[in-house]
């Protein structure tokens, strides 16, 4: 009881009560003593009363004065010290405690400052350790990301139940719209991989940790992938597996094409060769051949020779096609090759910068050009050297120009015979040209002399400024059970999407002209996993609609139909909860086309309009613009009313509303859908 009371009363009040009690108690004692003295000794009562009043009031005054001094010099400084210590204990405040405020408390304030200094030092040491560790982890993360991103083979790490938790760019190139937390079987025909996994498991039981090979087709059947799968073990438990693979489509088809070509060539050559042989033999061995028969046989030989030549021409062209398909060079920037030439040569070369990309062995080409440049400048008869690139129809020609003495093909051939670099052993410039299936030659025109080296152009690499896609998530939640309603919202994958249409009436003949989607996994918006396609609506787009979304008839002319785009979008949404701003509108368009698409959009659906209505008041503004304003989400004006711009904004708003929903106690998908149902009824009543 007393303990509770002391806790409730402040320190200063307790001290005041203490001095009050002291004064009052003293006054009561004085009064008691005077009453006792009067009863024993008698005498005039006034004297006792006056003495009692003076003594009692004096004591009360003294107690009050000492109490005030005590409050000012002890109670307040103690409270100030306590407050300072609490602040420093709870927040990272690195200031000394003012000892002047507690000068009457002897060494208490210096002692508090000593504690504060020790605390600050401990915090600084911990902060330094955290920074060191953070920097180390950041370095390792950057190394890991670069390694995986630029690995020449596709790499996928999957959970034991075969959901993707990491992939690299090559895997994305090979498997298409791969995404985190999505089943591997959506991208790869699973049977061969399952077989390899089963062999891997059996080997593991025998105590062998091995990688097993597989040859599997991509889910769309367009590619064959040859790869290895190996286990990831953590404390002897299988925590996933790594798949490393490369595109074997070209290898397999080129191998088959080679076989086919050889068989066809043998047949194509044997037939005319056999006929020519037979006809020649008859002509030489039969002396009394009638002139008309002899003429027919000669004509026959000529016809067969023509067939033979045509056969060789045909096979030569087909062989060139097969060879060119097997070209495995990676994209290299022309500017990178030119920088390499400059690094390998002392010559003063004027370089015309180029944005073009080559499919070549950049080091070999740069070394080869530097070698030619060295020979060009060795006798001092040439100057005004320059390097430039000309791009034309799938080809980029590197041009090494100069003024002065010309160069013969014989000189060039001699220069190219020498080994290119110690790094390449005996590999010569001529070998490098052969490997690139090209050649170089000298030309002379009015502007001077030049050497031309044609190489295959390559597609530009990803721009360095591209958004860093989310390629991995090692904390994927467990796979959703059969009862999605019971799943925590935080464990679900979402596809936020938006459509642009020809109008507002799906049943009145309006059609989709664009679909955009964005995935959210583990609460993260995956900006690297997007779906964005124009759709050919098969009808004219009214100009009023074009004014809103800026999509014209010309833009959708070559776009896929809703049947094709819808299938791809359905694949993209597999296993995810669909989210849209005013979802019933977008879904109505998709569901009306389900028969044409051949798929059903039966994923659970959340609508950000209804979520907003549930979270905020029932009659407020719930437009996308209003929600963006409320959550501080900025949509660039040029992105507003584009399917992807609105999708990104909806996704940003949605993840913020998910947090609010969970704070409100709605933590499962079922809970969120029930909440939406309640809002639907209210909104219907309000004519929503």
Partner 1 sequence: MSQKTVLLVEDEDNIALALTHLIGRAGYALRRVASGNAALEALAEERPDLVVLDVMLPERSGYEICQLIRRDAVLRGIKVLMITAGGGEVERRKGMAVGADAFMTKPFAAADLTAQINALLAEEGA
User: Based on CB atoms, which residue is closest to partner 1, 272 or 671?
Assistant: 272
Closer to partner 1 by CB, 230 or 437: give it.
437
The yes or no reply on residue 306 touching partner 1 (CB under 8 A) is yes
**Position among 222, 316, 352, 619 found at the interface with partner 1 (CB under 8 A):** 316
Report residue 404: phi and psi, to 5°: 120, -140
Lookup: tokens for 603: 């994923």
Tell me the β-bridge partners of 331: 359
List all residues 6 or more positions away from 328 whose beta carbon is below 8 Å from its beta carbon.
Answer: none
Q: Tell me the closest approach of the beta carbon of residue 269 to partner 1, in angstroms.
A: 12
Element (H, E) at 404: strand 395-404
The DSSP output letter for 462 is: P
Query: Which residues, including other chains, have CB under 8 Å from residue 589's CB and lie 6 or more apart?
Result: 499, 501, 506, 510, 511, 512
Could you tell me which of 654, 532, 527 has the C-alpha nearest to residue 582?
A: 654
> Cβ closer to partner 1: 239 or 437?
437
From the list 71, 145, 303, 439, which residue makes contact with partner 1 (rule: CB under 8 A)?
Answer: 439
Question: Which ranges constitute the DSSP H helices of 391-528?
Answer: 409-416, 429-435
Minimum distance of partner 1 from residue 589's CB (angstroms): 50
β pairing state of 605-607 and 154-158: unpaired
Catalytic site positions? 641
DSSP run (H or E) holding 268? helix 249-285
Binding range to partner 1, per CB under 8 A, among 265-273, 304-312, 374-382, 606-614: 304-312
Binding range to partner 1, per CB under 8 A, among 166-174, 237-245, 257-265, 300-308: 300-308
153 binds partner 1 (CB under 8 A): no
Place of tokens 């969970």: 662
For position 275 contacting partner 1 by CB under 8 A, the verdict is no
435 near partner 1, rule: CB under 8 A: no
Residues 396-425 interacting with partner 1 (rule: CB under 8 A): 406, 408-410, 413
Return the closest-CA partner of residue 549 out of 623, 498, 625: 498
Nearest to 341 by CA among 351, 331, 332: 351
- DSSP string spanning 641-679? TSHHHHHHHHHHHHHHHHHHHHHTT--BHHHHHHHHHHH
Among 452, 605, 639, 660, contact with partner 1 (rule: CB under 8 A): 452
* Residues with Cβ within 8 Å of residue 573, at least 6 apart in sequence: 495, 497, 517, 601, 603
Q: How far is the CB of 452 from partner 1 (least distance, A)?
A: 7
Helix (H, G, I), strand (E, B) or coil at 383: strand
How many positions of this chain bind partner 1 (CB under 8 A)?
Answer: 23
How would you label 158-178 residue by residue, b for 16+ Cβ within 10 Å and e otherwise?
A: bbeebbbbbbbbbbbebbbbb
- CB closer to partner 1 out of 455 and 579: 455
**Please, what is the minimum distance in Å from the beta carbon of residue 430 to partner 1?**
12
Q: Which one of 35, 441, 509, 600 is in contact with partner 1 (CB under 8 A)? A: 441
Site for partner 1 (CB under 8 A): which residue of 118, 135, 312, 343? 312
Spatial distance between the Cα atoms of 193 and 215, rounded to a whole number of angstroms: 8
By CB under 8 A, residue 483 contacts partner 1: no
> What is the sign of the dihedral through the CA atoms of 231, 235, 239 and 244?
negative
CA distances in angstroms from 37 to 25, 53, 378, listed in the order given? 18, 15, 132
Cβ at position 160, least distance to partner 1 in Å: 52
Q: Report the sign of the C-alpha dihedral through residues 355, 361, 362, 368, in that order.
A: negative
By C-beta, is 94 or 409 nearer to partner 1?
Answer: 409
| x/- map, 112-141, partner 1, by CB under 8 A | ------------------------------
d(CA 332, CA 342): 16
For partner 1, the closer of residues 411 and 674 by Cβ is 411
Q: Does 308 bind partner 1 (CB under 8 A)?
A: yes
Please state, in angstroms and rounded to a whole number, the distance separating the CA atoms of residues 606 and 681: 15
Q: How far is the CB of 406 from partner 1 (least distance, A)?
A: 7
Instruction: Name the segment binding partner 1 (CB under 8 A); options: 70-78, 200-208, 254-262, 434-442.
Output: 434-442
- Min dist CB 557 to partner 1, Å, is 34
Taking residue 456's Cβ as centre, other Cβ atoms within 10 Å add up to 18
* Least distance CB 566 / partner 1 (angstroms): 43
Q: Which of 101, 120, 249, 438 binds partner 1 (CB under 8 A)?
A: 438
Shortest separation between residue 439's beta carbon and partner 1, angstroms: 5
679: closest CA among 599, 583, 615? 615
Contact status: 83 vs partner 1 (CB under 8 A): no
Residue span 363-402 as binding mask against partner 1, x where in contact by CB under 8 A, dash where not: ----------------------------------------
Contact call for residue 39 and partner 1 (CB under 8 A): no
How far apart CA 387 and CA 452 sit, in angstroms, is 10
Dihedrals phi, psi of 43, to nearest 5 degrees: 115, 180
Among 55, 190, 404, 442, binds partner 1 (CB under 8 A): 442
Residue closer to partner 1 by CB (options 280, 406) is 406
Nearer to partner 1, 261 or 635 (CB): 261
Q: Give, to the nearest 10 degrees, the angle between helix 643-663 and helix 669-685.
A: 110
One residue of 454, 503, 560, 670 binding partner 1 per CB under 8 A: 454
Closer CB to partner 1, residue 72 or residue 409? 409
Which of residues 347 and 452 has its CB atom nearest to partner 1 in the complex?
Answer: 452
DSSP three-state, residue 414: helix
Stretch that binds partner 1, among 117-125, 277-285, 376-384, 441-449 (CB under 8 A): 441-449
Residue 309 sits in the site that holds partner 1 (CB under 8 A): yes
Q: How far is the CB of 278 from partner 1 (least distance, A)?
A: 20
Minimum CB distance to partner 1, residue 443 (Å): 6
Estimate the share of the chain in helix, then strand, then coil, as percent rounded to the nearest 5. 55, 20, 25
Structural contact between residues 481 and 670, judged by C-beta atoms closer than 8 angstroms: no
Coil vs helix vs strand at 641: coil
Identify the residue among 150, 281, 293, 313 touching partner 1 (CB under 8 A): 313
- Calpha distance 219→197 (Å, rounded): 18
Instruction: Quote the least distance from Cβ 429 to partner 1, whole Å.
Output: 15
Q: What are phi and psi of 165, to 5 degrees?
A: -115, -5
Nearer to partner 1, 314 or 571 (CB): 314
Task: Compute the distance between CA of residue 624 and CA of residue 579 in angstroms, rounded to an integer.
Answer: 13
User: Could you tell me if 651 and 582 are in contact, meaning their C-beta atoms sit under 8 angstroms apart?
Assistant: no
Per CB under 8 A, 280 contacts partner 1: no
3-state secondary structure of 331: strand
When the beta carbons of 329 and 351 are compared against partner 1, the nearer one is 329
Kindly state the smallest distance separating residue 410's Cβ from partner 1, in Å. 4
Catalog residues that contact partner 1 under the rule CB under 8 A.
305-306, 308-309, 312-313, 316-317, 320, 406, 408-410, 413, 437-439, 441-444, 452, 454
């Amino acid at each position: 009881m007393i303990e509770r009371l002391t806790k409730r009363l402040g320190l200063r009040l307790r001290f005041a009560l203490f001095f009050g009690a002291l004064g009052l108690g003293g006054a009561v004692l004085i009064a008691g003593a005077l009453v006792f003295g009067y009863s024993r000794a008698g005498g005039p009562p006034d004297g006792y009363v006056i003495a009692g009043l003076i003594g009692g009031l004096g004591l009360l005054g003294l107690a009050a004065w000492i109490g005030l001094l005590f409050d000012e010099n002890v109670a307040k400084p103690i409270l100030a010290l306590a407050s300072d210590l609490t602040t420093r204990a709870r927040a990272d405040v690195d200031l000394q405690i003012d000892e002047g405020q507690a000068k009457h408390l002897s060494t208490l304030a210096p002692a508090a400052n000593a504690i504060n200094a020790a605390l600050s030092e401990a915090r600084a040491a911990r902060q330094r350790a955290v920074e060191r560790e953070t920097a180390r982890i950041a370095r390792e993360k950057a190394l890991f990301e670069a390694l995986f991103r630029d690995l020449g083979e596709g790499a996928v790490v999957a959970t034991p139940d075969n959901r993707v938790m990491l992939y690299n760019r090559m895997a994305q190139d090979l498997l298409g719209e791969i995404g985190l937390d999505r089943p591997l079987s959506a991208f790869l025909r699973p049977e061969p991989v399952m077989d390899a996994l089963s062999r891997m498991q059996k080997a593991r039981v025998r105590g062998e940790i091995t990688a097993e090979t597989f040859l599997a087709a991509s889910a769309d059947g367009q590619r064959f992938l040859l790869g290895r799968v190996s286990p990831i073990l953590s404390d002897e438990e299988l925590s996933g597996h790594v798949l490393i693979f490369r595109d074997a489509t070209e290898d397999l088809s080129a191998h088959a094409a080679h076989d086919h070509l050889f068989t066809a060539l043998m047949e194509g050559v044997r037939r005319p060769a056999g006929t020519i042989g037979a006809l020649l033999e008859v002509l030489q061995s039969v002396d009394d051949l009638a002139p008309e028969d002899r003429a027919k046989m000669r004509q026959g030989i000529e016809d067969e020779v023509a067939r033979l030549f045509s056969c060789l021409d045909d096979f030569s062209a087909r062989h060139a096609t097969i060879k060119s398909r097997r070209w495995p060079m990676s994209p290299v920037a022309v500017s990178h090759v030119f920088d390499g030439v400059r690094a390998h040569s002392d010559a003063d070369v004027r370089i015309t910068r180029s944005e073009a990309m080559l499919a070549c062995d950049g080091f070999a080409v740069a070394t080869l050009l530097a070698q030619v440049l060295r020979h060009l400048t060795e006798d001092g008869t040439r100057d005004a050297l320059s390097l430039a690139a000309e791009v034309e129809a799938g080809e980029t020609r590197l041009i090494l120009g100069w003024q002065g003495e010309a160069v013969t093909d014989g000189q060039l051939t001699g220069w190219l015979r020498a080994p290119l670099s110690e790094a390449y052993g005996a590999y010569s410039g001529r070998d490098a040209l052969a490997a690139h299936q090209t050649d170089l030659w000298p030309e002379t025109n009015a502007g001077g002399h030049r050497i031309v080296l044609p190489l295959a152009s390559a597609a530009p690499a990803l721009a360095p400024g591209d958004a860093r896609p989310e390629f991995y998530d090692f904390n994927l939640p467990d796979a959703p059970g059969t009862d999605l309603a019971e799943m925590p919202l935080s464990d679900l994958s979402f596809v936020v999407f938006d459509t642009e249409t020809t109008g507002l009436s799906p049943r009145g003949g309006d059609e989709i002209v664009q679909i955009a989607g964005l995935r959210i996994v583990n609460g993260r918006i995956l900006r690297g996993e997007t779906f964005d396609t124009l759709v050919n609506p098969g009808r004219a787009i009214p100009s009023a609609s074009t004014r809103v979304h800026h999509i014209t008839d010309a833009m959708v002319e070559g776009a896929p139909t809703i049947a094709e785009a819808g299938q791809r979008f359905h694949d993209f949404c597999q296993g995810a909860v669909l989210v849209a701003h005013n979802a019933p509108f977008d879904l109505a368009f998709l569901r009306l086309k389900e028969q044409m698409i051949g798929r059903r959009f039966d994923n659970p659906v959340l609508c950000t309009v209804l979520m907003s209505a549930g979270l905020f008041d029932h009659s407020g503004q719930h437009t996308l613009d209003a929600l963006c304003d409320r959550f501080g989400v900025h949509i660039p004006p040029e992105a507003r009313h584009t399917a992807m711009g609105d999708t990104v904004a909806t996704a940003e708003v949605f993840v913020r509303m998910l947090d609010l929903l969970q704070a409100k106690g709605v933590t499962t998908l079922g809970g969120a859908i029930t909440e939406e149902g309640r809002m639907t009824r209210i909104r219907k009543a309000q004519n929503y």
